[in-house]
Amino acid sequence: MHFIGLDAGSVAVKLVVLDKNGVVIERHYVRHYGHAVRTALELLKVIKEKFSESSLSITGSAGKIIASTLKISPINEIVSQFY
């Protein structure tokens, strides 16, 4: 099991993959040039092929739109720091 965290901000999409022990095994920072949703979905497609058994959490200014597209609930980036 892997845990994927995605933050879609106003400038870039950031993604991190953690193993079951919380160790970072992969990270990405991709500027989206105004296309946050498309960039995030393209990145997620690649990541999900590598880490098919995973959990996904999404934050950020474009997070609500992306989460809605994927039919999951977004997490407020401030609240996410609590977890």
According to the model, what pLDDT value does residue 82 have? Answer: 67
Pairing of strands 12-18, 2-8: antiparallel
The total number of structural domains in the chain stands at: 1
How many whole angstroms separate alpha carbon 41 and alpha carbon 69? 9
Judged against a pLDDT cut of 70, whether residue 83 lies above it is answered with no
Is 83 inside a domain boundary?
Answer: no
Domain that holds residue 61: 2-78
According to the model, what pLDDT value does residue 61 have? Answer: 87
According to the model, what pLDDT value does residue 38 have? Answer: 95
Secondary structure string (H, E, C) spanning 36-56: HHHHHHHHHHHHHHHCCCEEE
Q: Convert the pLDDT of each residue in 21-76 to its tens digit.
A: 999 999 999 999 999 999 999 999 999 999 989 999 999 989 999 999 999 999 88
Question: Residue 17: which CATH number?
Answer: 3.30.420.300
Is 39 inside a domain boundary?
Answer: yes
Q: Which run of H or E residues covers position 66?
A: helix 63-70
- Single pTM value for the model: 0.88
